[in-house]
Amino acid sequence: MDLKFNSSRKYISITVPSKTQAMSPHIKSIDDIVVLGINLSRFNKLTQFFICVAGVLVFYLIYGYIQELIFSVEGFKPYGWYLTLVQFAFYSIFGLIELQLIQDKRRRIPGKTYMIIAFLTVGTMGLSNTSLGYLNYPTQVIFKCCKLIPVMLGGVFIQGKHYNVADVCAALCMSLGLIWFTLADSTVAPNFNLTGVILISLALCADAVIGNVQEKAMKLHNASNSEMVLYSYSIGFLYILLGLTCTSGLGPAVTFCSKDPVRTYGYAFLFSLTGYFGISFVLALIKIFGALFAVTVTTGRKGMTIVLSFIFFAKPFTFQYVWSGLLVVLGIFLNVYSKNMDKIRLPSLYDVINKTVEVRRSGTLAQTV
């Protein structure tokens, strides 16, 4: 609404813009769900589901493959922080391009909040990338599946929360699975290093905090995803650049990557692009079908990533990986179940016994007849 005042003639001119002009594009219609220029609202639910699942699986499987491929380049493992710097630069560019495609370009979230989010984002992605210099890729993925553990610990010690039996069992299954998987990795992996476990654990803690901070900031200030990406990653880029400059880690990394720019910067570009596209489909999946479907799909994706890692990249294998991984999957299921008890009804022991008795009776009756 525009108000125009005239001092000589005291009147007010009121101009009411059209509906599409008055509203920000990212809140223009709750029914419009656009991902990579595709308006998913035009399709039925089943088609939307298959498009979102295909997008998550395709882009994130490529993302995981390229991430491990980068660290398989000889001599690259010490430069995990530089990879994160390049990744943040690409994410900032992608966010800026996406922001230019919408009409409302105002920054809604305060700068101080973005400084906190950027710091947590640096911790999450930087420590995660750097941990691959010390861990097998499957071990890193298993750890990333267990974000519930630091979330619960923070809830208990910081907020005094109480959790139900399903959540506690989920955390125990994840913890046991992690311990077993890590012990198996330390036994069969010749390059196992406890530093990688510490790095990925710290990354998990930062990841557990950042989700709550981002969600609260976006809901409170009604900010778009593109705004969040642009400012959090661009500020994070400055953090990492300052850190690498002060620790003299920037020069050696640039020198190393310039020797083979196709395999370093080329892989980093594809790594960043597929990660950016993948999160777009995850957000669409959450918006359309809810967190239950999203968690199920992303968990399946992580399992496929681990399998593909053993197929495409030579590494030692033991069946302890399988049993410990199944424990983690059980923990994830219990966590999802605890948050969706009203939607998921598991049969009680009484129901199972009654069903068994009915089956036996029907079998006996059939034999009698």
pLDDT tens-digit map of 193-234: 788 888 988 888 887 777 667 767 767 777 766 777 788 899
Does residue 148 carry a pLDDT above 90? no
Phi, psi angles (nearest 5°) of residue 191: -105, 25
When comparing pLDDT for 20 and 240, which is higher?
240
pLDDT average, residue stretch 12-37:
48
Domain parsing of the chain, residue ranges? 34-342
Residue 139 and residue 217: Cα distance in Å, rounded? 32
Predicted confidence band at 341 (pLDDT cuts at 50, 70, 90)? low
When comparing pLDDT for 168 and 299, which is higher?
168
CB 87 within 8 A of CB 271: yes
pLDDT average, residue stretch 78-107:
84
In angstroms, how far is CA 142 from the centroid of its own chain?
13
* Torsional class of 50: left (φ above 0), alpha (ψ -120 to 50), beta (otherwise): alpha
Q: Which two tokens stand for residue 195?
A: 């530093």
Does residue 86 carry a pLDDT above 60? yes
Phi, psi angles (nearest 5°) of residue 23: -110, 145
pLDDT computed for residue 213 by the predictor: 76
Q: Encode 311-322: b = buried (16+ Cβ within 10 Å), e = exposed.
A: eeeeeeeeeebe
pLDDT computed for residue 24 by the predictor: 38
